[in-house]
Amino acid sequence: QNILTVCFSVGYSAVALNHVIDFKEKKQEIIKPVSPSELFPSLPIVQGTSKRIKVLTRLTLVVSDPSHCNLLRSTSANTRLYDIIAVFPKTEKLFHIACTTLDVDLVCINVTEKLPFYFRRPPVNMAIDRGIYFELLYTPAIKDSTMRRYTISNAISLMQICKGKNIVISSAAERPLELRGPYDVANLGLLFGLSEGEAKAAVSTNCRAAMLHGETRKSACGVVYTVKKPHQVEEEETAVPACKKAKTQ
Amino acid sequence: AAAFERRVLRRAAEHHYLRVRLELPDGGARPNAAQFKQLVVTALRELHGEVGAALPVDVLTYEEKTLSAILRVISSGFVKLWSALTLLGFYQNRRCAFRVLQTSPFLLALSGNSRELVL
């Protein structure tokens, strides 16, 4: 709860609470996510706007075996309760499966050890087409210098293949001090080799797109967001063809 | 009529200024100005090596009570300094965090903070 308070003060507008499931241990069951309303009776307002901060729930599956993926396909009631689903593949085959066929929103890229496999272009391009985002963590870089090297080297090799598209940078903070502000994290994106616009998008627009991708799983096909257009002064035009009028609406 | 002169600067600014605050939650000894500068240089050395540590960084003001400071750095080293401050985790084996409050290529812009406006 302390971490969330710091998040809000630093300037984030949406936070996702992560729950990690590791399949190596036996008898893992997916628990229901903690509802955010239990933690905060009323969420504070985002700085500068009048909307409240969103707190979402997220599930991360650490898969090292293809049989673990069956859980995603089975209609487990608890999996559907989470807003965002992420998968953490440990082998190349699983990475390929996750990018091409699995129904997830994020694919986590390991930052704590040297990648056992190289990224190849076909699965990465398919993931970009499907709207799946690759996630990098930055908190291990704060704790340990060896992990810093692995983080940067894995991030750079990912950038070479995906050219900076569909990247999300997030923190796996366990303490409020391990959190960094959004602009600081966007600056870290520059270190990884992203351009300035891509780095800022990695913290803002890509994250929102991943959230919407998670929402599409709950609905049947897609999500349409409507935005209120500013009131346009209508002028009387007599000779406007019908097709033109339909486009301006 | 008042006489005024208009100057147009075409080059990018020479220095970038950052207002930062160090967060040290435990109630231990607070660093003084020299130790603060040493901490910044250590952060640069950990991330960018000797070349990063040699970056000309100046601590323009430092308040020990609030642990906030204004730093000045050459514009070419701005990204290195900011990333080094972000990734710093420990000060004398105590957990700490740098919060960068404002940055600007002009020192005057650091005097007003639109985020702290009380509307």
DSSP string, A26-66: SS--PPPPPPHHHH-SSPPBPTTSSSBPEEEEEEEEEESSG
On the question of pLDDT at A32 being above 80, the answer is no
Place B28 in a pLDDT band, splitting at 50, 70 and 90. confident
Q: Which residue of B has its CA nearest to A152?
A: B47
> Quick check: A166 pLDDT over 80?
yes
Three-state SS at A88 = strand
A175 touches chain B (CB under 8 A): yes
Substitution target in B86, B88, B96, B113 with the highest count of A β-carbons within 10 Å is: B86
pLDDT at position A234 is: 47
Segment 89-148 of chain A within 8 Å of chain B by CB: 138, 141-143, 145, 148
- Segment B60-85 shows an average pLDDT of 89
Nearest Cβ partner for B79 among A143, A145, A190: A190
A114 C-beta neighbours (distance < 10 Å), count: 9
Could you tell me the pLDDT band of residue B17, with boundaries at 50, 70 and 90? very high
By residue count, chain A amounts to: 249
Partner B contacted by A191 (CB < 8 A): yes
> pLDDT, tens digit, for every residue of A120-141?
888 888 888 888 888 888 877 7
Residue of A nearest to B117 (CA): A48
Banded model confidence at residue A174, pLDDT cuts 50, 70, 90: confident
Does residue A23 carry a pLDDT above 80?
no
Which of A137-151, B59-73, B94-108 is predicted least confidently?
Answer: A137-151
Residue of B nearest to A144 (CA): B89
SS3 A77: coil
> Considering chain B, what is the average pLDDT of its residues?
85
When pLDDT is cut at 50, 70 and 90, the band that residue B70 belongs to is very high
Cβ–Cβ contact B82 with A under 8 A: yes
Q: What is the mean pLDDT of chain A?
A: 72
Q: Which candidate in B47, B67, B73, B87 is best for mutational testing of the A interface (most A CBs within 10 A)?
A: B87
Angle of helix B33-53 relative to helix B78-86, nearest 10 degrees, comes to 120
pTM: 0.76
Task: Give the DSSP letter string of A209-249.
Answer: HHHHHHHHHHSSS------PPPPPPP---SS--HHHHHHH-
Sorted by where each begins, the domain ranges of chain B are: 15-107
Torsion of CA A122, A125, A131, A135, to 10 degrees: 90
Q: Quick one: pLDDT band at residue A196, thresholds 50, 70, 90?
A: confident
**pLDDT band (50, 70, 90) for residue A242:** very low
pLDDT of residue A110: 76
Cross-strand pairs, A133: A106
Nearest-Cα distance to chain B for A245, in Å, is 42
Res A175 pLDDT > 50: yes
Domains of chain A as residue ranges with CATH: 3-218 (3.20.20.140)
> Is pLDDT above 60 for B40?
yes
pLDDT of A236 over the 80 cut: no
- First CA to last CA across chain B, in angstroms? 37
Per-residue confidence band for A71, with pLDDT thresholds at 50, 70 and 90? low
Q: What is the pLDDT of residue A92?
A: 82
Three-class SS of chain B: CCCCCCCCCCCCCCEEEEEEEEECCCCCCCCCHHHHHHHHHHHHHHHHHHHHHCCCEEEEEEECCCCEEEEEEEHHHHHHHHHHHHCCCEECCEECEEEEEEEECCHHHHHCCHHHCCC
Split at pLDDT 50, 70, 90, the class of B41 is: very high
Average pLDDT on B83-110 reads 85
Domain B15-107 CATH superfamily? Ribonuclease P, Pop5 subunit (3.30.70.3250)
Question: Does the beta-carbon distance from B97 to A179 stay under 8 Å?
Answer: yes
Q: How confident is the model at residue A8 (pLDDT cuts 50, 70, 90)?
A: low
- Contact of A133 with A206, CB cutoff 8 Å: yes
